[in-house]
């Protein structure tokens, strides 16, 4: 019996999908616990590339059970498009994917509200993915939401009531919109969704544990986008942190085993909000170009910068990370020197390595500089091949973060993944 969690430690897009796929053979079940189609998780293997949004990244490995948990928000239209594309490419889903009846539904009007709220914010826009995430979680918390289980009883009435409520708000915002196409696709999605096993997933999950099965929980977004601990208000609307797996699946905290924290060898952010180590120079452009840093969902250019150990240390603390995973080190393969932010200088001149309440204004990152490894690592298969400077970078990060880096990713493909400390147990 074990429940392990894999989650992002930065501002999302750390490479969660790739590593969940790599780790899936070691588990019986893979479960998503929060977020929705704001996520874009990319997997590459056998020359194919897939982007998953609501479907867990365990779907490509054998006959594992995949779960969309109660903490997820689901858009039936986008789910149908995603699932049908997978089925068309030969990946059967219906007997391997179960969906919580308690997951909340993203309505067409939630998407319109998302756009309307953003439009009303002017310069203070969050830069959301426009998928209706905030309004759906708002309705969940204010006890106005529709859940997957509602499809089975008196759905039409519940939908009409929610829609009327949303339309009132849109009217008060003077927002003009056209619902017709969105609504048509959405209702087709609803019919499609009914073909899946809609379950009380907390019972299923705890049943798996009783049978001695192991579960890998897949996070979406990242710790710095968490609604409580992220760079509020420039965050998403769910708990992306370790504790989110407990509430988003119905797993008790004492069942949690390993917490895999995943980060890039540098840092990116998409959308608005503070980003202390952001680079506005050619180094930033170089990282963006080499890392192909464009959003998997919206295609937006990701902002790029050096690794931020103040924010990372904070994430490791909040999540109780037991194993670290470093991604995209290959992007830095050609750099003469690598910088890492180890502290912030605040507006009042004070230095701190504790993540402060407000990182919005006047924070200056304090860097240490390390020598680059200047070696193409993309074909390496073992840590024995690592250049000395790369090992020094890993040791420096481990010392700063106090947690071992167990996996290093040197390219987007499933095969470009190197495990370290393999002689130790796990
Ligand atoms: P996720 O949302 O955390 O699953 O991450 P995304 O899929 O949004 O973004 C990660 C991107 O980096 C994807 O395009 C991956 O294919 C790619 N990627 C993952 N690991 C590596 C790596 O080690 N090196 C390189 N160059 N690309 C990687
Ligand atoms: P994955 O799972 C990166 C960002 C948006 C915006 C903020 C709020 O692929 O790592 P939302 O639509 O959630 O209300 O937007 O959060 N954001 C992400 N950034 N990766 C993601 O997911 C994200 N999901 C949301 O850009 O700044
Ligand atoms: Mg992503």
Nearest alpha carbon, ligand 1 atom 13: 42
Ligand 1 pocket test: pick from 8, 39, 42 the residue with the most ligand atoms within 8 Å of its Cβ: 42
Nearest protein Cα to ligand 2, atom 16: 236
What are 98-125's pLDDT values in tens digits?
Answer: 999 999 999 999 999 999 999 999 889 9
Mean per-residue pLDDT, 342-357 = 94
Block residue for tokens 């009303």: 120
Choose one of 35, 271, 278, 315 to mutate for the ligand 2 pocket test, by most ligand atoms within 8 angstroms of C-beta: 271
Which tops the pLDDT comparison, 21 or 423? 21
Distances (CA, A) of 176 to 115, 126, 183: 11, 21, 16
Q: Which residue has its alpha carbon closest to ligand 2 atom 27?
A: 271
The whole-number pLDDT of residue 425 equals 55
- Which of 352, 264, 347 has its CA nearest to residue 302? 264
Average pLDDT for residues 387-407, to the nearest whole number? 98
Cβ of 409 below 6 Å from ligand 1 = yes
> Which residue has a Cα nearest atom 8 of ligand 1?
13
- For the beta sheet containing 417-419, the strands, ordered from the edge strand earlier in sequence to the opposite edge, are 197-199, 97-100, 65-68, 29-32, 214-218, 2-8, 256-264, 323-327, 405-409, 417-419
Residue 226 has pLDDT above 60, yes or no: yes
Centre of ligand 3 to C-alpha 425, Å, is 31
Torsional sign, CA 208, 212, 218, 223: positive
Q: Which residue shows structure tokens 């988003």?
A: 248
Q: What is the mean pLDDT of residues 255-276?
A: 97
Angle at which helices 133-141 and 108-120 cross, to 10°: 110
Active site residue 13: yes
Per-residue pLDDT tens digits for 177-208: 999 999 999 999 999 999 999 999 999 999 99
Chain segment 29-82, per-residue pLDDT in tens: 999 999 999 999 999 999 999 999 999 999 999 889 999 999 999 999 999 999
Asked if 112 and 94 touch (Cβ cutoff 8 Å), the reply is no
Instruction: Give the pLDDT band (50/70/90) at residue 362.
Output: confident
Is residue 32 in contact with ligand 1, taking CB distance under 6 Å?
Answer: no
Indicate the pairing of strand 267-269 with strand 197-199: unpaired
In the residue annotation, 41 being an active-site residue is answered as yes
HSE, CB side, 13 Å, CA atoms: give it for residue 383: 14
pLDDT digits (tens, 9 = 90+) for 371-382: 999 999 999 999
CA of 238 relative to ligand 3 center, distance in Å: 16
Catalytic residue selected from 41, 104, 110, 166: 41
Q: Which ligand is nearest to the CA of 15?
A: 1
């Amino acid at each position: 019996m074990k429940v392990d969690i894999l989650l992002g430690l930065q501002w999302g897009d750390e490479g969660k999908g790739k590593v969940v796929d790599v780790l899936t053979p070691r588990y019986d079940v893979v479960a998503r616990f929060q977020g929705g189609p704001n996520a874009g998780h990319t997997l590459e293997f056998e020359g194919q590339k897939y982007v998953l949004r609501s479907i867990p990244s365990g779907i490509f490995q054998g006959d594992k059970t995949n779960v969309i948990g109660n903490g997820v928000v689901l858009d039936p239209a986008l789910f149908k498009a995603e699932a049908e594309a997978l089925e068309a490419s030969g990946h059967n889903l219906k007997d391997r994917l179960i969906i919580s009846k308690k997951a909340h539904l993203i309505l067409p009007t939630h998407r319109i509200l998302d756009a309307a709220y953003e439009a009303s914010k002017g310069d203070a826009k969050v830069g959301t993915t426009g998928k209706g995430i905030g309004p759906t979680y708002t309705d969940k918390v204010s006890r106005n939401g529709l859940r997957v289980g509602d499809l089975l009883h008196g759905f039409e009435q519940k939908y009409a009531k929610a829609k009327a409520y949303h339309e009132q708000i849109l009217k008060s915002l003077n927002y003009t919109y056209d619902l017709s196409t969105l609504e048509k696709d959405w209702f087709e999605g609803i019919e499609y969704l009914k073909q899946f096993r809609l379950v009380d997933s907390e019972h299923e999950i705890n049943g798996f544990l009783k049978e001695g099965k192991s579960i890998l929980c897949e996070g979406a977004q990242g710790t710095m986008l968490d609604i409580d601990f992220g760079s509020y208000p420039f965050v998403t609307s769910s708990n992306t942190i370790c504790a989110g797996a407990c509430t988003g699946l119905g797993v008790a905290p004492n069942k949690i085993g390993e917490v895999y924290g995943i980060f890039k060898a540098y840092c990116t952010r998409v959308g608005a909000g503070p980003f202390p180590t952001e680079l506005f120079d050619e180094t930033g452009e170089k990282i963006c170009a080499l890392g192909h840093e464009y959003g998997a969902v919206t295609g937006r250019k990701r902002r790029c910068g050096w690794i931020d150990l103040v924010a990372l240390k904070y994430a490791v603390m909040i999540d109780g990370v037991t194993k670290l995973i470093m991604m995209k080190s290959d992007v830095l393969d050609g750099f003469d020197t690598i910088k890492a932010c180890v502290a912030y200088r605040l507006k009042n001149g004070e230095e701190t390595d504790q993540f402060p309440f407000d990182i919005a204004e006047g924070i200056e990152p304090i860097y240490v500089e390390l020598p680059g490894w200047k070696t193409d690592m993309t074909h390496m298969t073992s840590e024995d091949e690592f250049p000395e400077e790369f090992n020094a970078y890993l040791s420096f990060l481990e010392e700063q973060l106090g947690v071992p880096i167990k996996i290093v990713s040197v390219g987007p493909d499933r095969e470009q993944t190197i495990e370290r400390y393999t002689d130790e147990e796990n």
